[in-house]
Structure 1
Amino acid sequence: MNTEACDPAELAALREIFASRPDAAPPAGWEAVRAFEAEHGVELPEPYRTFVAEVCDGLPEGPPYYGLLPLAETPSDWGAGRPERLLAEPFPLTAAWLWEEDEEADEDEAAFEARTAPVFDHGSLLLGTDGCGMYWHLIVTGPQRGHVWQIAGEGAMPFGPESPDALMPGTPGFAGWAAHWAQGRDWFPDA
């Protein structure tokens, strides 16, 4: 997965997936992408960066279930009172973290929220929601840059890790995530 240069084959696959959708929003354009990056102190990973600038900036119906969000938006159910999103701060995880399996999960609510807040708010761009508090994030800073993660009330897990025991197997990255959706495949095949 190359997050620095846009692979023409990945971009062509993304164009094919989204160009056929009559409800796809027009691209944001390079000026809007660069303004967003300057405002947040990040450079978006490829191929998402070129996709938003040249192909599509949102899709009302999938992926995810409630649509692909435009670049600068958050889902309507994101909630008031959440901390400011800090995209330039590194995303803190490199492996799945299921809160229920955490030995410190019995700590008081404030301490737990302080430990989990960076997972929700640092180093990631919200792609959309499947509802019920399940959010898809594109990681924009940190070791997982370019990967897509699902972060929900139960925990955080990457889409497409290249291991046989992965909870959500597939091709990592935005292009792999979008292709997985377009093919109608289950996110959790063994669930």
Structure 2
Amino acid sequence: MTEALTLAELAEIERAVGVRLPEDYRTFLTEVGNGGPVGGFELTRVVRDGDGWRWTGNDPALIARLGTPFQPFDPAVREEHERARPVAGDFADAAAFEAACRAWIQREDDLYDEEAYGTLVLAHQGCGHVWRLAVSGPHRGTVWDDARGSDVPLTPITGPDGEPLTFSEWHRRLGGGAPAAPPAPSPPRPPRSPATAT
């Protein structure tokens, strides 16, 4: 695990992205560590470079939209887009058809990004498959499985009760455990009585 952030650094990050991060994730970053290995995966880190603060493994354009409430699309959104796919026979010539196809593909890419607004990538699972943390909107604080590259919709990670997992619950499930509690202070030793003093 990499070195934890200071509270001053966290405040600077939140000012830069314009949103307060979920509480348990804030605690993790400042008390446990700023990313690193867990359960065979690598948690993304917050780093500062010449352009300011950014998360490794995240698209800067999406980080700029962390304040946008996260809301997974209704399936009807994708269905409507698919129905709008250009058909060659509807166009007078190849150039017009190609232009329509480019616009349709661009809209496909835009929809992919827009659905992830208000989230950040926590870890990559391979082949474009990632875990996301919702930081804005009604799902704030929950972790989502993103395998949309394999045509699987965004899906919340849930516990045995069916409730979405928070960051700390997901981290424990992944094998990160819970931060160790500081040891309780030893009770003061009672003074010896004069009769037992040596």
* TM-score under structure 2 length normalisation: 0.63
Q: Judging changes above 3 Å, is the alpha-carbon distance between structure 1 residues 29 and 157 closer, same or farther for their aligned structure 2 residues? A: same
The amino acid that maps onto 2:167 is: F
Q: Which residue of 2 aligns with 1:134?
A: 129
Q: Which residue of 1 aligns with 2:55?
A: 73
Q: SS state of the match for residue 129, structure 1?
A: strand
Q: Which residue of 1 aligns with 2:106?
A: 110
Distance (whole Å) between structure 2 residues aligned to residue 148 and residue 171 of structure 1: 7
C-alpha contact 1:37 1:44 (8 A) present in aligned 2: yes
Q: SS state of the match for residue 67, structure 1?
A: strand
Q: Which residue of 1 aligns with 2:115?
A: 119
Size of the aligned set, in residue pairs, is 146
Overall identity of the aligned pairs, in % = 28
Q: Equivalences for 1:24-103 in 2 at 5 Å?
A: 24-59=1-36, 61-63=37-39, 65-71=40-46, 72-75=54-57, 83-85=61-63, 86-93=65-72, 102-103=78-79
C-alpha contact 1:125 1:137 (8 A) present in aligned 2: yes
| Structure possessing the higher radius of gyration over alpha carbons | 2
Q: Which residue of 2 aligns with 1:174?
A: 167
How far 1:28 sits from its partner (Å)? 1.0
C-alpha contact 2:142 2:164 (8 A) present in aligned 1: no
C-alpha contact 1:74 1:128 (8 A) present in aligned 2: no
Which structure is higher in strand share?
Answer: 2
Runs of 4+ residues over 4 Å off in structure 1:
161-164
C-alpha contact 2:141 2:166 (8 A) present in aligned 1: yes
Which structure is higher in helix share?
Answer: 2
| Alignment gaps of 5+ in structure 2 | 47-53, 86-103, 178-198
Structure 1 vs Structure 2 CA RMSD: 3.0
| Alignment gaps of 5+ in structure 1 | 1-23, 165-169, 185-191
